Amino acid sequence: KATYDTVLEALDNGYTHITHFYSCTSTVTRERGFRIAGALEAGFLDDDITIEIIADGKHLPPPLLKLIYKSKGSNRTALVSDSMRAMGMPEGDSILGGLRDGQKVIVEDGVAAYPDHSSLAGSVVGGNQLIRNVVNLADVPLLHAVRMMSKTPASILGIADHKGTLAPGMDADVTVLNNDLDVILTIVGGRIVYDGRRTHSLHS
């Protein structure tokens, strides 16, 4: 597992980002009795490191979501669904990965897990639910929550010059949410590709 010093060395060689913060991310260990910081501590301490979190309300409890937001803020934290094929489907058996060589998982209580419940196996929520979760579970202001799902990921990917914000000259990729944060419209390249106005009220 990566130690704090390993991460600092990686930073010197172009490393900038930690995916799935707290999920399979190394933390404090002991070597001959002495504590050694890990990748988590490096992510918290170094402002040059950006992170992403699975904010489905299952992978990370509210106290950790609050800690992450307080430490890293909305400009260095991206929301990621980590959703797999079972998203939007009834709970029950599913497959993680390819249909032929994937792993069997069980979806229950709003998350995918391995059959022996030894570990979570993926999320089954969409991006709007991530926004809703950090607002409701971690007291993140709505503006910051939306940034964590739009401008911040675009900046991390190096495409913020044409995606992630609403401004002249930017790509016309827009998700319209109502007051309940349900998806009303999805616009890609200026074209409506999803219209949920018959299902959800714009002002609900």
- DSSP for 68-117, written as a single string: HHHHH-SSSEEEE--B-TTTTSPSEEEEES-TTT-EEEEEETTEEE-TT-
pTM of full prediction above 0.75: yes
Range list for CATH 3.20.20.140 in the chain: 1-82+125-164
Q: What is the pLDDT of residues 85-141, one digit of tens each?
A: 888 888 999 999 988 899 999 999 989 999 998 999 989 999 999 999 999 999 999
Helix 62-72 and helix 127-138: axis angle, to 10°? Answer: 90
Q: Mean pLDDT across the stretch 142-162?
A: 97
Pick the CATH number of 1-82+125-164 from 3.40.50.300, 3.20.20.140, 3.30.70.20, 3.40.50.720: 3.20.20.140
Q: What is the pLDDT of residue 73?
A: 98
Determine contact, residues 51/21, Cβ cutoff 8 Å: yes
> What pLDDT band is residue 198 in, cutting at 50, 70 and 90?
confident
Residue linked to tokens 């910051």: 144
Q: What is the pLDDT of residue 1?
A: 83
